[in-house]
């Protein structure tokens, strides 16, 4: 699946997007964040406070307990500050 990062999540991880293949046990958005945190210091820093991170699956907002099966694109970003 493709992951996309925005704003300071993107800056902390150091890249705007990447393709990942998480293990079968990673079933939800929250579990994906936890798995990503173990991939290196930059990920641990980006996801140090997962409660503030927002997520979208295939360009629609989702909650952390949402299943990621079948997702093509998952995005992580801080709370939005548009308008």
Partner 1 sequence: MTATVRLQREPFDAAGEAAKLVRGRKDVGAVVTFTGICRGEEAGLPLVAMTLEHYPGMAEDEVTRHVQEAQQRWPLVGVTVVHRFGRIEPGEEIVLVVTAAAHRGDAFAAAEFLMDYLKTRAPFWKQVEYAGGSNWVDAKSTDDALAERWVRPGNPREAAE
Asked whether the beta carbons of 35 and 3 are under 8 A apart, the reply is no
String of b and e for 35-65 (b: at least 16 CB within 10 Å)?
A: bbbeeeeebeebbeebeebbbbbeeeebebe
Of residues 54-73, those binding partner 1 (CB under 8 A): 56, 59-63
Question: Of 6-14, 20-28, 29-37, 42-50, which segment contacts partner 1 by CB under 8 A?
Answer: 6-14
Binding-site string for partner 1 from residue 7 to residue 46, where x marks contact by CB under 8 A and - marks none: xx--------------------------------------
Least Cβ distance, residue 25 to partner 1 (angstroms)? 25
């Amino acid at each position: 699946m493709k992951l996309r990062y925005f704003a300071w999540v993107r800056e902390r991880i150091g890249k705007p997007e990447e393709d990942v293949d998480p293990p079968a046990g990673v079933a939800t958005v929250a579990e994906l964040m936890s798995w990503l945190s173990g991939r290196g210091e930059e990920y641990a820093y980006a996801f140090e406070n997962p409660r503030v991170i927002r997520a979208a699956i295939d360009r629609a907002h989702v909650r952390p307990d949402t299943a990621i099966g079948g997702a093509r694109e998952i995005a992580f970003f801080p709370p939005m500050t548009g308008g």
